[in-house]
Amino acid sequence: MKTETGEQLKQMVKEKYGQIAEQSKTTNETSCCGATGCGTIDYNVMADDYTQLAGYVADADLGLGCGLPTEFAQIKEGDTVVDLGSGAGNDAFVARSVVGEKGKVIGIDFTDKMIEKARANAKKLNFSNVEFRQGDIENMPLAGNSADVVVSNCVMNLVPDKKQAFTETFRVLRKGGHFSVSDIVLAGDLPEGLQKNAEMYAGCVSGAIQKDEYVKIIKEAGFTNITLQKEKRITLPDEILKEYLTPEAMVDFKTGSTGIFSITVYAEKPDACCAPGCCN
């Protein structure tokens, strides 16, 4: 079985999300987190509703997230917030409504077309304290110790080297800073058919790892006070499950501890130097 390299995976993500940037929210929602080829599903199995949040900008909402990290991120007025995988600017604009004119929001995205779309949205809104930078989350175009808060919405699972991504998150945060990240993780061993075909029904599952491993990576990056702020099971339609599971197995999958989950995780960079690179 062929395994793509990290660079090949990045190119696939760049191409896919370049296409998504040019699609409507409705199209993206009906294609499961922006993936293609997920059968007859006619609703988004991942995204939460942003429309009631302050700062919401409809043109920036492509329906791609799997949580509401800005809601849990404890952002304060005047903060500098970094949004990883900022897309068309959805989370960045919500964060901007909290930091106010005294704060700053920096969005980082790997896809040129997403950056173009986000910058166009910011220009249309006349926001001078929101900027978008093209860059790789594994090697962020940011100085160390420059952010108070980092947020990210259903992006880390798409990054080939998650350890490096969280190491970079640690680097760019100031001492005492923190992050709130929403992402897709796995719990237990998925039935073989579902595991092999995950990307067919929900693009955000592709690249997802076990929840315990995800938390371990965060801890090894040097973060403390790791807290699971929210967890919800991703409920997959019966029309998808029955392709891979018997009726009995479907019941077990829906009611057991094994499954696909959206989580929002919070963690802090310690005030004191306690990890490699902390004082850099």
274 or 116, which is more confident?
Answer: 116
* Amino acid of residue 59: D
HEC assignment per residue over 107-169:
EEECCHHHHHHHHHHHHHHCCCCEEEEECECCECCCCCCCEEEEEEECCHHHCCCHHHHHHHH
Q: How far apart are CA 151 and CA 174, in angstroms?
A: 14
pLDDT in tens, 23-80: 555 555 544 444 333 443 333 555 677 778 888 888 887 777 788 899 999 999 999 9
Give the pLDDT score at 35. 38
Q: Which element (helix H / strand E) includes 256?
A: none
Cα 152–Cα 257–Cα 160 angle in degrees, nearest 5: 35
Residue 154 reports pLDDT greater than 70: yes
Please give the angle made by the CA atoms of 1, 197 and 90, to the nearest 5 degrees: 115
Answer whether residue 274 is part of any domain.
Answer: no
Helix (H, G, I), strand (E, B) or coil at 176: strand
8 A C-beta contact, residue 108 and residue 147: no
User: Could you give the C-alpha distances from 237 to 37, 40, 184, 200, in angstroms and in order?
Assistant: 15, 10, 17, 13
Name 105's bridge partners: 81, 130
Asked whether residue 138 is assigned to any structural domain, the reply reads yes
Domain count of the fold of the chain = 1
- The total of other beta-carbon atoms located within 10 Å of residue 264's CB is 24
Q: In which band, very low, low, confident or very high, does the pLDDT at 275 lie, cut at 50, 70 and 90? A: low
* Residue 277 belongs to some domain of the structure: no
Q: Is residue 153 part of a domain?
A: yes
Does 170 fall in a domain?
Answer: yes
Q: Is the pLDDT of residue 156 over 80?
A: yes
pLDDT reading at 242 higher than 70: yes
Residue 1 lies in a domain: no
pLDDT, tens digit (0-9, with 9 covering 90-100), for 205-214:
667 889 999 9
21/117 Cα distance (integer angstroms): 7
Range of the domain at 197: 6-268
Mean confidence (pLDDT) of the chain: 82
CATH of the domain at 67: 3.40.50.150
Least confident of 39-43, 96-100, 232-236: 39-43
Question: 40 lies in a domain?
Answer: yes
Question: Bigger pLDDT: 54 or 132?
Answer: 132
Per-residue pLDDT tens over the stretch 167-194: 999 999 999 999 999 998 989 887 766 7
Residue that wins the pLDDT comparison between 146 and 27: 146
